[in-house]
Amino acid sequence: MEQQKLPNVTLALVLSILSLLCCCFMGIPGAIIAAIAFFILRNDEKTYMANPELYSNYSQLKTAKTIAIIGMVVGVLYAAYVAYTISAMGGLEAYMEEVQRISEQWAQ
């Protein structure tokens, strides 16, 4: 019998890589994208475990799963860092004032 590829591994791999890019810039959206990829991969992993001899790209699944976990962790850590920074500056209002002050400096 010819081996076939797991159906959603490529999609999950793309989402995992996208989550790494997003979590470096925004935090929470990257973690959400990584969580979606992780849940897609869990379904494909269950499919693989039911009949391992039918599928050929399990190593790709493990790679995507690792990248998704890293994306989730980095996204949550970055979001925690942003929350800490905002609270250390005196709250959201003080943070926005500082952002506006910096943007005015750059405009000159």
pTM (two decimals): 0.81
At residue 37 the predicted structure's pLDDT band, cuts being 50, 70 and 90, is very high
Mean pLDDT rounded to a whole number for the chain: 89
Locate 32 and state its tokens.
């959400």
The better pLDDT of the pair 10, 24 is held by: 10
**Rounded Cα gap, residues 79 and 47, in angstroms:** 33
The better pLDDT of the pair 92, 24 is held by: 92
- Rounded mean pLDDT, 4-11: 88
The pLDDT value recorded for residue 35 is: 92
The pLDDT value recorded for residue 108 is: 73
3-class SS shares of the chain: helix, strand, coil, % to 5: 85, 0, 15
Which residues have a Cβ under 8 Å from the Cβ of 63 and sit 6 or more positions away? 13
Q: Is 12 exposed, middle or buried (0-12, 13-18, 19+ CB in 10 A)?
A: buried
Condensed to tens digits (0 to 9), the pLDDT of residues 65-91 reads 999 999 999 999 998 998 898 888 888
The pLDDT value recorded for residue 1 is: 63
Of all residues in the chain, the percent with pLDDT exceeding 90 is 45
The pLDDT value recorded for residue 41 is: 93
